[in-house]
A and B are shown apart, each in its own frame.
Chain A
Amino acid sequence: MNRLKFIDRMSQGRVSRREMMKAAAAFGVSATLLPRAGRAAEMLTCLEWGGYDDPAYFPAFMAKHGVQPNFSVFSGEEEALAKVLAGFAADIMHPCNYSVARFVTAGLTKPIDTARLSHWNDVFPVLKDAEGVVVNGDVVMAPADWGNASVAYRPDLVEKDFLDAPTWGILYDERYKGRVSTLDDALVIQIGLMVEGKSYDEVYNLHGDELRAAAETWGRKGLETARFLWTDATELQQAMASGEIVAAYAWNDVIGNLKEQGIPVAYAVPKEGFFTWFCGLSILNSGKADEAAAYDFVDAWLSPETGKLLIEGSGYGHANTKSFEIADAEAVAAMGLDDPIAMMANSTVFRTPDNAVQEDQNKVWEDLKATHF
């Protein structure tokens, strides 16, 4: 993992000029040679988040195949889905728990034979059979990166009653009007119901009239309290760093990123509970490359080395339990994950309602936003 170390040292400003030049030369070579080599028809094509297209995330694949796959980077899974539906041939997709079922329903995925993944046994058991990893009895996504979703807050800026008894209710609390932010998702309605006392299992599948009624109360309240609805983590963390917002629905990478800059921030364990989201790799049936290469790529992503990079570099968790053993203890602690296994057991893993319900939830949420001004 020379590259990793290099980036690490670079970010601390400890790279000599000669090393820089060497790296630059390496970049020059890879930039001119690799894409050319990648033109071959049987090359693996991956739909990937920009940033995960770094060979450091799949060292085992690089070791075996020597060249990077082709990457088509996307910023939202729905756009990626539309592109594949329109006929774009890709072998690998990197969806998340809330989007993977859409690819499956659209008939775009292949079941994954977990016996062909050498690291499968080390995957967190909760993730192995989570809804979304398994759909209709098939494993359709190998979980790779995951994180929590809870309330992140500025301890210096919230009031004492929240510090004493943290609750999701802060996102609907009039006292914090214009000082909180939440995810742009129908989840706002569901979490509102949890504040009211319902359990996640009761509300995740909500649809029809019940959903519409809850949208009118909790959805509207959430919209009225929020300063903005976030769609990307950069937007949210920037606003938290500047003090624009004091509490938000957030993933745990916010903690590490803000603390690194000396900004006080904490991650709550709300009385209603907190969530775990996960993303992973799916093998698409539109792919033209050799299936074995696709499995190599997925397996490489599950390796503990990848997990170490993910934990240290981006503040996300990794599906392989062993990643946490080799990762920098400080980085693990920064995520608020002293004991990832215990944490995972305590959290609520997001569930996946069926496609019609998801559509209904999206529609109700969008319609609600439309009439809000």
Chain B
Amino acid sequence: MRPLTIYAALFMAFIYGPVLLLVVFSLNDNTFATFPLKGFTLRHYVEMWSQAPMLAALGNSLRIGLGVTLLTTAIAIPAALALTRFRFPGKPAILGAMMLPLVIPSIVLAVSLLVIILKFLNIPLSLWTVAAGHVLICLPFCTSVLMSRMEGFDPSLEEASRDLGSPPWQTFRRVTLPLAMPGVISSLLLGFIISFDEFVIAFFLTGTDNTLPVYLYSQLRFPNRLPATLALGSLILVGSTLLVVIAEILRRRGVQSNNPGDL
């Protein structure tokens, strides 16, 4: 085997190893995650299932994550296009400002957004306000990954399309977007995991609907609730892996394509 393949295997072991332990301990008959293992049980899953607020929080987080990443990517695509393909005055300043949400301490951002929302705009807090905050912090990540893709790829294809008389929108849809696809997928995934995992802004900007990280943090006070959260984490992990695998199988059955560069 080539060294790089071995490295890739080790890399996957590094990112999956610790989280697979979550699965192990979620099935272990012990409140605490310690070795040696005591025995198999599903009681933590039963307990998890009875915790309605936690499941509701999971639902909220999924919805916000999905909405946020779609919206952010939709905003970031034209922005990345502008920042890589167009020259206009003030570009460096705009680029710098776009990175600002990365530097501001999250508590500062969260509290000041809260004051603006409640005292100036007078909008009640909800999952919408959380989503708005998340769009702001996801934007630099999504824009950046899209810029990495769009920067310096051959403009001649777009030019050819334009020269053939295609309107700009069609050029974008037929040429630019497919070329940018790996960036778009990466952006969608990054946006989702950032929003899904964000705690501080979600805590301050939510009303009485809680997101999963907010809920999990608050559970830390009760050690005997830990196994249920491990069960939930494992379920997310296994569930999403299954989802990907099934989608892939379905896709292969449906397409039966042997197109190697399938991105």
Chain A residues close to B by CB (< 8 Å): 6-7, 10-11, 13, 15, 20, 23-24, 27, 30-31, 35, 38, 45, 49-51, 53-54, 70-75, 79, 82-83, 86-88, 232-238, 241-242, 253-254, 257-258, 260-261, 263, 314-315
Residue of A35, A71, A257 touching B224 (CB-CB under 8 A): A257
Q: Does any Cβ of A come within 8 Å of B125's Cβ? A: yes
Segment among B4-12, B66-74, B78-86, B206-214 that sits at the interface with chain A: B206-214
Q: Does any Cβ of A come within 8 Å of B114's Cβ? A: yes
* Residue pair A31, B210 in contact (C-beta under 8 Å): no
* Residue pair B55, A74 in contact (C-beta under 8 Å): no
CB distance from B38 to the nearest CB of A (A): 8
Residue of B31, B33, B214 touching A73 (CB-CB under 8 A): B214
* Residue pair A87, B115 in contact (C-beta under 8 Å): yes
Dominant SS among interface residues on chain B: helix
* Residue pair B118, A72 in contact (C-beta under 8 Å): no
Residue of B56, B107, B220 touching A31 (CB-CB under 8 A): B56
A234–B34 CA distance with the chains assembled, in angstroms: 13
Q: Does any Cβ of A come within 8 Å of B153's Cβ? A: no
Residue of B32, B203, B218 touching A261 (CB-CB under 8 A): B32
Interface residues of B in 40-90 (CB under 8 A from A): 41, 43, 46-47, 49-50, 52-53, 55-56
Residue of A75, A232, A237 touching B32 (CB-CB under 8 A): A237
Q: Does any Cβ of A come within 8 Å of B148's Cβ? A: no
- B interface residue count range (under 10 / 10 to 19 / 20 to 34 / 35 or more): 35 or more
* Residue pair B119, A87 in contact (C-beta under 8 Å): yes
CB distance from B112 to the nearest CB of A (A): 9
Given contacts A27-B52, A30-B52, A233-B221, contact A72 B32 (CB under 8 A): no
A23–B52 CA distance with the chains assembled, in angstroms: 10
Smallest CB-CB separation from A10: which chain B residue? B46
CB distance from B107 to the nearest CB of A (A): 8
Contacts of B204 in A (CB 8 A): 79, 82-83, 86
Contacts of B55 in A (CB 8 A): 27, 31
Residue of B47, B125, B210, B226 touching A50 (CB-CB under 8 A): B210
A31–B41 CA distance with the chains assembled, in angstroms: 27
A325–B226 CA distance with the chains assembled, in angstroms: 29
Residue of A79, A86, A238, A260 touching B33 (CB-CB under 8 A): A238
* Residue pair B224, A88 in contact (C-beta under 8 Å): no
Q: Does any Cβ of A come within 8 Å of B30's Cβ? A: yes
A241–B203 CA distance with the chains assembled, in angstroms: 31
* Residue pair A10, B31 in contact (C-beta under 8 Å): no
* Residue pair B208, A49 in contact (C-beta under 8 Å): no
Residue of A75, A238, A254 touching B217 (CB-CB under 8 A): A75
Q: Does any Cβ of A come within 8 Å of B196's Cβ? A: no
6 A-B pairs whose Cβ atoms sit less than 8 Å apart in the complex:
A10-B50, A31-B55, A35-B56, A72-B206, A83-B203, A257-B223
* Residue pair B218, A74 in contact (C-beta under 8 Å): yes
CB distance from B220 to the nearest CB of A (A): 4
Residue of A35, A70, A87 touching B118 (CB-CB under 8 A): A87
Contacts of A237 in B (CB 8 A): 32, 223
* Residue pair B221, A71 in contact (C-beta under 8 Å): no
Given contacts A71-B210, A233-B221, A241-B34, contact A27 B50 (CB under 8 A): yes
